[in-house]
Each structure stands twice: as structure tokens, then as C-alpha cells.
Structure 1
Amino acid sequence: MKKISRFLFAATLSLTAAVALAGTPVKQDVVRYGNVQIEVNSQGKGPIIVMLPSLGRSGRDYDQVANYLQADGFRVVRPEPRGIGQSKGPMENLSVHDFAKDVAAVVEHENKGPVVVVGHAWGNFPARMLAADRPDLVRGVVLAAASAGKVPPGSTEKPINAEMRQAIDGAGDLSLSKEQRLIYLRKAFFAPGNDPAVWLNGWHDETHEAESHARNTTPVDDYFAAGTVPILDLQGEADTVAPRRFSGVLKSMLGDRVQIVVLKDAGHAMAPEQPKAMADAIATFAKTQYAKQ
């Protein structure tokens, strides 16, 4: 009987964990301001974590990460960039300031005070810009698999060289063969041994172009420091886009408000590779920031 009771107890715990991970259904809303509307996917209750996606990709890439964060007691809010889903607005000649303004409208709509913002890969630029432009809305930023935008003093390299830029852009170029795109995905986004095929789909060309233009035309110093908020620099151990040789740039230039955490067996994609580890690192940082309230 005791063995049966222990079995039932363990089964109940497993079921509870599974239900928590599955989360409640994601709620979809649209936030409007001026001639812009932003689709927002949200779930959970508690302190807010806003997640911004990678170049030309949707916030739905972080479904697993969001479920873990929800299970940990957070409300996860994922605005879609313009050109994805119901998110619409001008797409020409945008700056990173414009993309940050879209996120600001979403945070204001939540009306819960300053929040923690996670910017993955390209998403780290508007995350930092939001902290710089609207310090009233941000209490901390997580820069996940983020190119700092600068290189160590004395280096003649670019933050992202031409060869890597070709791989990043080629991964989402649907005019290329599947085989070539897989080569680019392995090179730029995934750690050795991780499956790049999970990112063959989910690319949005118009958004990719608009975000690339914003990155190329907005001065790095506009967003580099992320205002004055605490920063978690969440790095993938095998990230080739934001490589280890540049891993100390943010901390060396911004000092003690930057904390570095390195995820093993993770490349630039990070979320599909290590969703639990990514969520745990974000949650630990967010709890610290909200505890200061």
C-alpha cells in the first residue's frame, strides 16, 4: 500500500508539473496608438516580463520559455514586431527608437509600473532603447544572446562580420534551398549537436528588412548603455554571432550593473536549445529586480 501511495503521489506531482508547464491559454490582444497597432500575446499573473524576439522572428519562438516563467509566477507579455501577425504600422525608414516606442505602448497598456524587459538577439536593441528612452517603464533588462554593438578597445573587428551577417540573413532567405539554409542556421544560430531545422520556418521578410534598416541607421550610443538599469547579459556558450571573445564588452564598459550568465550547450538561438535554463536565468534576475520594489 505504501508503494502504491508513493507511486500515486509521484504521479500527482508529475501531472501538476505538466499542467503548470502547459500554462493557461495564451491571450491575444491588440494595442493601438496613432497609426500603429501591436499584437500582444500574454499569459499568467504576477510581476511582468516583456519578451522581444530575434531578427525577423515572432515572439512565439519563446512559447516554452514563457510557460516556464508563467509556472514560476510571472505574467509574460510578448508584443509582435510590426509586420508579424496583427502588428501593423509604417515599415519604411524606421529606427530602433520606433520599435522601442511600440514596446512602450504595450508596457503602458499593462499599467503595472516599470517592468523587466528581455531582448533576444536583435530584440536586445529595442530593449536597451526602451530603457534609455523611457526609464519610467523599465526596472531591468535581460540581453539574451545579444551583440553588444561594440568591440573591445583596440580591436579592429566589427561586432558582426560580413561572413556571419551572410549566415544570419541567409538563414531566413526562403529563396535559398533548404540545405543551404540549414548550413546557415548551424553556422549562426545553433550550438553543435542541436537541431537547426526547428527554425527553418517562422521568418518574416518585411520585418527582417525593417529591423535591419533600424539597426544599421540608429547610432549604437543611443541604446548601448540601456539607461541606468541593471542588466543581465545572458550568453550562449557556443554563440558564434555574439562570440566569447566579445563576451566582456558590456560589463567592461558599463561596470557592476551588468551581470553575466553563460548557458551551456546554447548558441545564438538559445530559446529552442535551452528553454528551461534560459527561463531560470531570466526568473532569477527578475525576482531580484522586483524584490527592490
Structure 2
Amino acid sequence: MTSMQILDAGAAGAMADAVADVAGSSAVHAAQAGLHSLSGHTVTHGDVRIAVATCGSGPAIVLLPSLGRDVEDFFPIAPLLAARGYRVVMPSPRGMGDSTGPLTGITLHDFANDIAAVIAHEGSRPALVAGHAFGNWVARNTAIDHPDRVAGVAVLAAAHKDFPRELRAHIDGAMDVSLARDLRLAHLRAAFFSAGGDPSPWLDGWYPDVARAQRAASAATPVAGWWTAGSVPVLDVQAANDPFAPASGAHLLREELGGDRVTVRVVGPAGHALLPDQPAAVAEALADFADRILPKNP
């Protein structure tokens, strides 16, 4: 079934109400309260060790962070998803936190193997794998390489194939801690945040060395081999003000992969960072999609 819906901040209010009993009526307060229920474990396969943060119970939604960033970006939405009846699984990429593993001579398929091992640790049921920006490339590879582990893929603020390459300079500037604070904020505004958004929280949380390894792995992995995400259902959560994916191309992924596979949700106002701008709207889109594809009583 094909669908396309635009969510603004007000439209996500129902999601905040769903967790009002956790900590008042604010989704932010609810998210903060929900963090107290986070737990962690590690998953090892071969010479790779992946640290995993989790909360909630039910079918698994696996959240993969953006280039050079760790799973803390998902903490505002994790308890909201848990409140909808899902187990939220957040694996830290190799080289971040307590996750370790080779970062040279690898491809996106290696990152996908890490995620498949994490899903296998959760049990026999396939998961919804959601990737933010760079993370969606890993999510799609996981669906291709391990179709038995993936029930669906959600791409969050996914860049178009032909996104303006000059935006990479803004990514590099945003994560360069040697630059002046004001200059880094300017880079963040140019690449990641919509007008009125607060980029200051994203001054922290960067792993430049890992970002370089992730870029190298991407360059070593032909796009044609993973772009389709196999044959699973796909949720395309678009940020309404994303320079990596202008609104003029909102139809592209659905047309390319097929209207029977792709559901589009446009969230705004929001830039490429998406999660800090609209946590409740993103959580609502993911939970609604998961309700369709993840049986809670198999």
C-alpha cells in the first residue's frame, strides 16, 4: 500500500499523549524519564564487539545512527517507541563507545553483519531496521545481506543519490573540534538544521575517525548493490527542510522502488539532523509503520 503524509509538530501530539503517564504531558519529559529504563549488553561475532543499548519489550526496532555519530541521538525517541509496545535496540557502531572492530579494509557489508548479529541476539523474529542518514545505507545492506533478519527498513532523512557534494564540507566543518564554535554552528545550520532549530547540542557527539572509516566503507560498496533494500517494505521519513533531499525529489524513492513497497512520511519543520527537531513525529512515523509490519503476537 502506498501512502504519503506530512506531519508537523502538532500532528505528533498524540505520540506525546501516549507516554503522558511516564512523566507528564511533554514528550521530552517522557523521553527523559524513559532513559532510566535503558539497559545495555554486548554482542560479539568474530573479532567484532558491539555495545547495544535497549529499552522496552516487544518486536524489535533497531536504530542506526548517522555518519560519525552514536546512538545517543536516538535517546529522545527510544522511550516513545517503547511506550507503543516495541523493544528498541540501539547498537553503537564500531569505534564508538565500547564497540570495537576493524575499521580499515571493510565495506558496508561488514557493518551490516554487525547489525545482523545484534538482531540474532534478540531472538528468531525479524526486526524493523531504521537508519538515520548514513545509517540508512547500513540498514539497506542488512536487508540485502540478511533478509531473514529484516522485516522492513526505515530510512530517516535519507540523502538523494545526487545530493550536492559541497554539503560534505559542512559535515566536515561540523565535526571539526579545532574550528571556532561559531564556525561549527554555521556548518551545522547549513547542513543539518532548519531555520529556528538549535544546532548547539550537535557540537558534541562526533567521532571523526569513525566517520572517515564509514566513508571509506561506503566508497568500497557499490550503491547498486544495496540501494533497493531487497524486497522488504520501506518507510521513507523525509525532513521537510533537508538540503540533502530537497522536497522536489520527495517522490523519487517511491517511484524507484515501487509504490507497493514504499510509504512516505514528511516531517517538518526539520533539517537533515531530523531527530532533535522532531523526535515525537519521527517516533510516531516509525511506530505506525511497525504496527503494520511487525506482528506483536506471532
User: The residue matched to 2:77 in structure 1 has which SS?
Assistant: helix
> Could you tell me which of 284, 287, 297 is aligned with 1:283?
287
Q: Tell me the equivalent position of 2:220.
A: 217
Task: Tell me, in whole angstroms, the C-alpha distance in 1 between the residues paired with 2:176 and 2:44.
Answer: 30
Verify: 1:197 aligned to 2:209, yes or no. Answer: no
CA apart distance, 1:62? 0.8
Verify: 1:58 aligned to 2:70, yes or no. Answer: yes
Larger radius of gyration: 1
Q: Tell me the equivalent position of 2:274.
A: 270
TM-score (norm 2): 0.88
In the TM superposition, what are the counterparts of 1:1-293 in structure 2 within 5 Å?
16-18=22-24, 21=31, 22-23=33-34, 24-148=36-160, 150=161, 159-256=162-259, 257-291=261-295
CA apart distance, 1:16? 4.1
Percent identical across equivalent pairs? 45
- Counterpart contact for 1:36–1:90, Cα < 8 Å: yes
- Counterpart contact for 1:20–1:71, Cα < 8 Å: no
Superposed CA deviations along residues 61-97 of structure 1, whole A, max 9, x for unmatched, are 1101101111111110000001101110111122110
Task: Tell me, in whole angstroms, the C-alpha distance in 1 between the residues paired with 2:240 and 2:141.
Answer: 25
Superposed CA deviations along residues 187-231 of structure 1, whole A, max 9, x for unmatched, are 100011000101000001121111111122211011100000000
For the aligned residue pairs, the C-alpha RMSD in angstroms reads 1.6
Larger relative contact order (Cα-Cα within 8 Å, sequence gap ≥ 6): 2
Task: Tell me, in whole angstroms, the C-alpha distance in 1 between the residues paired with 2:245 and 2:273.
Answer: 11
TM-score (norm 1): 0.89
Task: Tell me, in whole angstroms, the C-alpha distance in 2 between the residues paired with 1:72 and 1:48.
Answer: 12
- Counterpart contact for 1:50–1:76, Cα < 8 Å: yes
CA apart distance, 1:291? 3.9
CA apart distance, 1:176? 1.5
